[in-house]
Chain A
Amino acid sequence: MKTTLFASILLVLSATAASAGAVLDRIESARKLVIATDAAYPPQSFLDKDGVMKGFDVDVGTEIAKRFGVSVEFVTPTWDLVIAGRWGDRWDVSIGSMTPTEQRSTVLDFPSIYYYVAHVLVVHKDNTTINRPEDASGKRIGIGQGESYERYLAGNLVLDAVGAQRITYRIMGAQVQAFEGNAMALDSLKLGDGVRIDAAMTSLPTALAARKAGAPIRVIEPPVYHEPLAVAIDKNDPEFGARLKEIVAAMRADGTLKTLSLKWFGADLTSPVQE
């Protein structure tokens, strides 16, 4: 619903594309890289007790800024605003575990994939009927608005990335319940098996972190699908994109990405998974 509302707003507003190299100039003159991410998406990005942002995405972003030779600032607009594109110079780059979908690539560019994630179905621990992803067909599944799960469950997720796996649709005819953010889908699941929803979709790291934090959930094996996650920038700035691509490639080559992945996920998620 909200995505449609957004699309119509964007149609009404005439778009001005970012001029080439403008972002690089701005980063140089401001001596800082402004990164959009989420403050409520552990373990990728979240607030610690002192209100400092932590997590895999935050560490990756901080490292990228370091390699640009500038300081870093994180801003936290709602997900819908990030995926809408046309950021109006408010932030330079999104490092927020974004799936590079074909639909999103009409307004955003994805210069670099930085890790790969498995998406899983989670159910309340009391559930006995859902044991494989297929079992959730026709069930009420909770997700966050605008997440790529929405497209997966509708059967039209098209990834816009080199080497992305072909998507197999395992869950048919699900009754999708889109909440304000993924966390609310998990909260709804915590109420009990089938109270509000029968299952929720989330990324494997999030599911494991939630279970570790005491959420009464069971993670369904095998994962529903795998996808690459990308750094995203506003449309039409190849110079800036090329620099980011170079930096992320260097971080992969010298093992920095792997170290961060082990630190936050306890596993190396920096190379594609073979099913």
Chain B
Amino acid sequence: MPKRFKMWPKLIVMPPVWEAWLPILCLVVVSVAAGISAMAFLDHGAWGGSTTANLIVGAGILLLWGNYAVLTCCDFSRSVLIIYLDLFILLVAFVFAFDLKYEVIFENLPALLGLTLRNGFLQGAALTLFVCVASIIAATLLALLAALGKLSRRPTLYAVATFYISFFRGTPLMLQVMLIFLGLPQLGIVLSAVPAGIIALSLCYGAYMAEILRAGIEAVPRGQTEGARSLGLSRPQILWLIVIPQATRLVIPPIGSQFIAMLKDSSLVSILGAWELMYIAKAYGRAEFRNMETLIAAAAIYWVLSAIMEFGQSRLEKTFSQGALMTR
């Protein structure tokens, strides 16, 4: 078998016709992208001259064929790495095509990252992380309670849990944030921006995660519970020692997605005047009428943070799947 067939994983069986068309498809995509970025350059007059544009397109095509040649003799994981790099370069080229002033990004980076305090409190990415971690802990606890409530045979617990899940899944998070910020003071409870935001995020994500946890708990085979009962374990023991550990393994990927979604939804707290990442990006950018620069920097920071969370998730998945074969 020729060496290059190794680049396809066994799961994806590529018909030979497809494989022949793939480089051409790539070529089209990259040419279009290069063309667009070249046009953007010309439009802003940043580079100017059609020779430069031709050079960019030419270099793009050359790079693409070079890439293809390298890919044909690489194994799967190396190919993936190269393609990651290609896509990343395309993304950077896209961003470079904007008319940006890069010093605005670097000047404001410390504030965006939250390396400095504001009035003795966190700001920027540090505040975003703080809000997220607090909400993750509270939402997980809420979700567990709501999931157990929904599985309960007691009408009160079941009703409270389903009502909660329905309301907080059924209304926009932004509205919940405002209801907590504006509504609670009418009852005499005045919360400042950060606690109000944490409560809204926890309530909303707790409701979504409750359904995930319930699905995870229900997916644990009935035989497990029955076996544990016949060994004389009590109901709480069965829940904590048998069901939840097995359910955890199942729910890690969807819960991980929820955490990542929460990281980004935490930007809604900015409407209350909390100086988290999104707020800082907007405020500093607007001071110099340079919005795009700080927003792109914020996008990069959010992305890095969620990449770290993705990595953590894959590590957790490995840890929890260790006993998986034995429990089957």
List residues of A whose CB falls within 8 A of some B CB: 5-6, 9-10, 13-16, 36, 39-42, 46-49, 51, 73, 75-78, 80-81, 84, 86, 88-90, 181, 183-184, 186-187, 209-210, 213-215
Contacts and interface: CB of A to CB of B under 8 A. Distances in A.
Interface in B214-247: none
A9 B179 contact: yes
Contact of B289 (A5, A39, A213): A213
Interface string B273-311: 101000100111111111110000000000000000000
A81 B287 CA distance: 21
Contacts of A186: 289
Contacts of B273: 36, 75-78, 81
Interface string B173-207: 00100110111011000101100000000000000
A-B pairs with the 4 shortest C-beta distances?
Answer: A88-B185, A40-B286, A77-B273, A46-B287
B265 interface: no
Contacts of B261: none
Contact of B186 (A14, A41, A213): A14
Given A75-B273, A78-B271, A46 B283 contact: yes
Given A41-B286, A90-B185, A183 B291 contact: yes
Contacts of A89: 185, 190
Contacts of B185: 86, 88-90
Nearest to A182: B286
B197 to A, nearest CB: 12
Contacts of B34: none
A46 B286 contact: yes
A47 B284 contact: yes
Contacts of A80: 271
B29 to A, nearest CB: 25
Nearest to A213: B289
A55 to B, nearest CB: 9
Given A51-B116, A78-B273, A187-B292, A15 B186 contact: yes
B288 A81 contact: no
A93 to B, nearest CB: 15
B111 interface: yes
A13 B272 contact: no
A77 B291 contact: no
Interface in B159-184: 175, 178-179, 181-183
A181 B290 CA distance: 14
Given A9-B179, A183-B289, A51 B186 contact: no
B179 A81 contact: no
B182 A49 contact: no
Interface string B57-76: 00000000000000000000
B279 to A, nearest CB: 8
Contacts of B284: 47, 51
A88 B175 contact: no
A5 B271 CA distance: 15
Contacts of B4: none
B193 A49 contact: no
A114 B284 CA distance: 26
Contacts of B192: 90
B272 A81 contact: yes
A5 B172 CA distance: 12
Contact of A187 (B190, B288, B291): B291
Given A15-B186, A78-B273, A81-B181, A51 B288 contact: no
A49 B107 CA distance: 8
A104 to B, nearest CB: 16
B78 interface: no
A85 to B, nearest CB: 10
A39 B282 CA distance: 9
A42 B288 CA distance: 8
Given A9-B178, A78-B273, A88-B186, 11 more contacts: A10-B182, A40-B283, A42-B289, A51-B118, A78-B272, A80-B271, A81-B182, A81-B271, A89-B190, A187-B292, A210-B289
Contacts of B289: 42, 183, 186, 209-210, 213-215
Nearest to B272: A77
Contacts of B178: 6, 9, 81
A132 to B, nearest CB: 25
Q: Which of B116, B279, B287 has the most CB of A within 10 A?
A: B287
Contacts of A88: 182, 185-186, 190
A13 B271 contact: no
Nearest to A82: B273
A202 to B, nearest CB: 11
